[in-house]
Structure 1
């Protein structure tokens, strides 16, 4: 069974060549916004996704980054790298700190309380208000955003992120906090979290806290915060603590951004949720092992009773699923970030092996017969009422592109298929327009759009009549008739298994 769907893997393994390409330099847009709340002009840096266009309809999540003068390039390049496989493209908005008389004002903006009477501390509430009521509306108006936001901050920026989570939990859907300074003001934040976390809506919110193993985690009060969160975290809150070895306070950003964005989009897949077969006939008490190829998602759940999968439903482990007397298979990729789920289903019936017949007299291997038609049809016509313009042999040299027309035509292929071993077979149609396949005059598969459709059949050793109908409307005709035996290689049906009248 390991080789059953080799033929289909190309449709699942769609790794782009960008995975091997070098990351391009970030195109940073430098802008300013005047804040009535902060009473000052604030610099902002925006990094747009590759291919961003004002005229396109695509919208993007946004990552907000504190300490922008240090972090824009770092976060931007890590995000671009993760786009290759683990997350969708994001808009990045970075916030450099204000400098007054040579002094960095990050302590003023990122700390929740004033300590020791220092006027340059305790401005976090005003900074939250600036982000919520001035900066985010500005970004959402100027750029095409989804309204889903991620926050990244380290050290005091991590302190600010946790404070924001307690005071404005829906402002961001994900929080990435690198080595946060939870010790601030005699452990003010751990106390606030202990009193607040059970009272706020954290459903579908993601939080990653990172720290350094050993004494540094204790000094930053990371372990203290972890204990508080784990005791009171509500259901639907996706929280994780990661302690790193051999890192410094300043190097924590690299792994925090990488692991944090992966956690934010946990369950996300670049690939469409395709699996093969997408339906068919199962024999009673004879299971079939369905295989998934390509990079496997982490939260693919399934049901066999017709219900929609949830986190409580069985979860795929590995890339195989044994189908046993199953009639309705539903699958769903469940993601931490709402809006990126994928669903698919397959319908099976419990039936019998389709009986084989003898080889038709005068039929020989090497191809099928075909009939060619022309007409302006929107869908496959009833060929019984039509007269073909051409009939001929479709052998190894047959080429759709050499037919008289390249659009508004149809072909019907007829012949026999030899099955060399009794067992399950997956049949597939891959093309650019509409096609159908009949076996023993039974319609088993219809494809109506570009891509692939597949179907499972139990067959006997012997011969089956086969009929394939194909309609081309747009030009550049393409059709592959595929199969995969249960315990063999799959691919385009070999010419030596196609029988017809070559005379």
Structure 2
């Protein structure tokens, strides 16, 4: 058995150690220089350029992640992201994470093309309101639970033509991409644009991810388009993927003012499209996130789609 003297010495030593630890904890913090405007991780893999839409002189900031690992024989898959200022930093890190594990699992990250605006913040509300909302005739029907927007709307077809006629040719010229493995991602109004593109120009992309889409816009006009689309393609095999997502917390907020037994907007829309042959339509509820937060985990869905359908080169 240890002696009482040993216990006394141990207690003295332990007390001194606690005092020293306390003094370290409460010491003045080390002086540091806080840097601002730090670069995004990824260095030369993160690239950018500017484009202008001639019809209204709208300027766009295009940010691109370019993989370092070898391209598949058919080229890299490519993911186009709307609201690029907010989406690109997150998407770039995901792509780098996929690339980090390349030697182990041979997964190749996509080329990421984020379409944003030349602003300091994350969301250009005025510009996206026009670019992402479909054309309409007559008077725009405002949703009773949404405030009326003070900004012009209805520019989705112009924005679609910008992507097809201006942006895609530049990407094809400078990056080795697979034209048969292209994904379009949009959130909120961007999700509405994604649905508009799918329903009006389904041949433009192979995969579509509409996150928290503003299906309510213009008195749910996109649902009417979905019904027409189903009738148009009910005898055809389209071989497309459409995934729709919504945040759990934004969904709870919506059902507070509606019948709790009523299916969510995305489920109702998916149900209208479920009988189209060759269409992989799925809905996802993302746990414990609000409307804006739901953008980021939904980007993961776009990356999952980009992983499928190709084989990395040896």
The 3-state SS of whatever aligns with 1:120 is coil
The 8 Å contact of residues 79 and 306 in structure 2, kept in 1 or not, is answered as no
* C-alpha RMSD over aligned residues: 3.1
Distance 2:298 2:239 in 1: 20
Structure 1 residue 87, shift from structure 2 partner: 4.4
Would you tell me which structure has more strand in proportion to its own residues? 1
Structure 2 partner of 1:296:
none
Structure 2 partner of 1:92:
112
Structure 1 residue 155, shift from structure 2 partner: 0.7
Structure 1 residue 133, shift from structure 2 partner: 1.2
Structure 1 residue 126, shift from structure 2 partner: 0.6
Distance 1:197 1:133 in 2: 27
Alignment of 1:60 onto 2:76: yes
Aligned ranges 1:278-293 → 2 under 5 Å: none
Structure 2 partner of 1:237:
279
Structure 1 residue 82, shift from structure 2 partner: 3.9
The 3-state SS of whatever aligns with 2:161 is helix
Aligned ranges 1:12-91 → 2 under 5 Å: 25=42, 27-51=45-69, 59-83=75-99, 84=101, 85=105, 87-91=107-111
The 8 Å contact of residues 42 and 96 in structure 2, kept in 1 or not, is answered as no
Structure 2 partner of 1:104:
126
Structure 1 residue 202, shift from structure 2 partner: 6.1
The change in CA–CA distance for 1:202 and 1:255 in structure 2 (over 3 A counts) is farther
The 8 Å contact of residues 217 and 223 in structure 1, kept in 2 or not, is answered as no
Greater relative contact order (CA < 8 Å, ≥ 6 in sequence): 2
Structure 1 residue 180, shift from structure 2 partner: 1.0
Where does the alignment leave 5 or more consecutive residues of structure 2 unmatched?
A: 1-39, 142-148, 259-263
The change in CA–CA distance for 1:79 and 1:238 in structure 2 (over 3 A counts) is farther
Structure 2 partner of 1:123:
155
The 8 Å contact of residues 174 and 206 in structure 1, kept in 2 or not, is answered as yes
Structure 1 residue 181, shift from structure 2 partner: 1.0
Structure 1 partner of 2:267:
223
Structure 1 partner of 2:246:
211
The 8 Å contact of residues 206 and 237 in structure 1, kept in 2 or not, is answered as yes
Structure 2 partner of 1:6:
none
The 3-state SS of whatever aligns with 2:194 is helix
Structure 1 residue 199, shift from structure 2 partner: 2.1
Distance 2:207 2:167 in 1: 18
The 8 Å contact of residues 82 and 258 in structure 1, kept in 2 or not, is answered as no
The 8 Å contact of residues 78 and 257 in structure 1, kept in 2 or not, is answered as no
Which structure has the larger Rg over C-alpha atoms?
1
Structure 1 residue 263, shift from structure 2 partner: 4.0
Where does the alignment leave 5 or more consecutive residues of structure 1 unmatched?
A: 1-22, 267-336, 343-503
Structure 2 partner of 1:164:
197
Q: Structure 2-normalised TM-score?
A: 0.68
Aligned ranges 1:396-415 → 2 under 5 Å: none
The 3-state SS of whatever aligns with 1:204 is strand
